Structure 1
Amino acid sequence: MRTRRARVRTTRAEYLLPHARETVFWARWLTAAFLTRVIAGATAPADPADAYLIVTELVANVTRHTRSSCRLRLCVAADTLTVEVSDDCPDRPRFRPPAPGDESGRGLLIVCALAHTIDVLDTPTGGKTIRATLSAA
């Protein structure tokens, strides 16, 4: 007897972004275009506003704390959206409690609050990938 497996539709996109001032803008724009295309006529895998904010924070960290370009990967499978941002810098992100008057320093805390899971992975080339997974509510 043959059993049928349910097919899970997976959609992926990958973008190489330069180390530039406007990189965060383009990362958000590409994420919006990707999600618009993926969720056309379907249920969103996660809140798009959460995805935009996570992409913004992770890409901004690369442009602010490294001299590296970055690679943005987006993947939708079933009811999950995975956001990955890779760079060539081996330094791992540091969580630091911001002082009340600080204007920055909360990005990773925001990502952790919005994402279902967050992982930091070393890449074979000596850099790192930060992966945030968002699930449908």
Structure 2
Amino acid sequence: MPLRVLLVDDVVEVRRLVRTSLRFRGGFEVVGEAADGPEAVRLASRLRPDVVVLDLDLPEIAGADLLSQVRAAAPEAKIVMPEEGGLGRLVELIESLEEDDEDDTTAAVIDLPHELSSVSRAREFVRERSAEWGIDEPLDDALLVVSELAANALTHAGSSYRVRLSATAEALRIEVDDDGAGTPEPQPLSETDEHGRGLYLVSALASSWGMGAAEGGGKRVWAELALPAPRAAGRAE
């Protein structure tokens, strides 16, 4: 069965580009399109898509409110939020959400406890695996992203969590599964409110990020960081 996709973006040219790319790739069905927040929530509830490609900067409902409402309307859907410059890999990213990657040799997993000290263990895990795989850039960004995702699991889910790291020729992917049912809420940086700062930084650093249900229950929050072109060229040879 094709993956059922809901496209949410107020720029019609962006929706047309993604829709056309998915059609040519095959294996996808665009079941709906929305140009504003209320329509996105309505279609998510009625269509129950497998994947929602979501622009958070929409009229009427935007940002954390939109993300929470879309997830409540379609709780089983995987939500993808491409950042600026992330559109080129979007089709492959959507496809990868449903692939079985148990045989992916460039992947590693660590289970961590509900302890503040586990955040440093998560960073060390990413540092060590990246060194094994020959990834030295963007290591600083990857360490910041895994720190923020781990802290999010500790603070908002209040549970132990699992970190999964994987790499392709184009991107380094960081996933964090926890037992929480809430929706992460990225907020603009401010001098008075620290809530949501971590996910705001994740969205700024990542080429794409998103969330969905974890395999064993709870939620999964993930982010992808683009790898430099020389690495991509080397892996492709």
Counterpart of 1:3 in structure 2 is: none
Of residues 102, 109, 128, the one that matches 2:193 is: 102
Larger helix percent: 2
Matched, 1:28 2:123: yes
Matched, 1:76 2:167: yes
Identity among equivalent positions (%) equals: 37
Counterpart of 2:220 in structure 1 is: 129
Matched, 1:64 2:159: no
1: distance between equivalents of 2:207 and 2:216? Answer: 27
Indicate if the aligned counterparts of 2:114 and 2:160 stay in contact, CA closer than 8 A. yes
Of residues 48, 51, 64, the one that matches 2:142 is: 51
Structure 1: which 5+ residue stretches go unaligned?
1-8
2: distance between equivalents of 1:45 and 1:129? Answer: 25
Counterpart of 1:88 in structure 2 is: 179
Counterpart of 2:106 in structure 1 is: 11
1: distance between equivalents of 2:114 and 2:121? Answer: 11
2: distance between equivalents of 1:81 and 1:118? Answer: 12
How many residues get paired? 125
Counterpart of 1:6 in structure 2 is: none
Indicate if the aligned counterparts of 1:46 and 1:81 stay in contact, CA closer than 8 A. no
2: distance between equivalents of 1:35 and 1:134? Answer: 12
- Which has the higher mean CA deviation after the structures are superposed, 27-36 or 92-101? 92-101
Secondary structure at 1:94 match in 2? coil
Counterpart of 2:100 in structure 1 is: none
2: distance between equivalents of 1:76 and 1:46? Answer: 12
Q: TM-score, normalised by structure 1?
A: 0.82
Give a deviation string over 1:90-121, Cα, whole Å, max 9, x none.
11112334542334531011000100000111
Letter in 2 for 1:65: H
Letter in 2 for 1:128: K
Counterpart of 1:4 in structure 2 is: none
1: distance between equivalents of 2:217 and 2:158? Answer: 14
Shift of 1:10: 4.8
Give a deviation string over 1:61-107, Cα, whole Å, max 9, x none.
11111221100000011121010001011111123345423345310
1: distance between equivalents of 2:226 and 2:189? Answer: 28
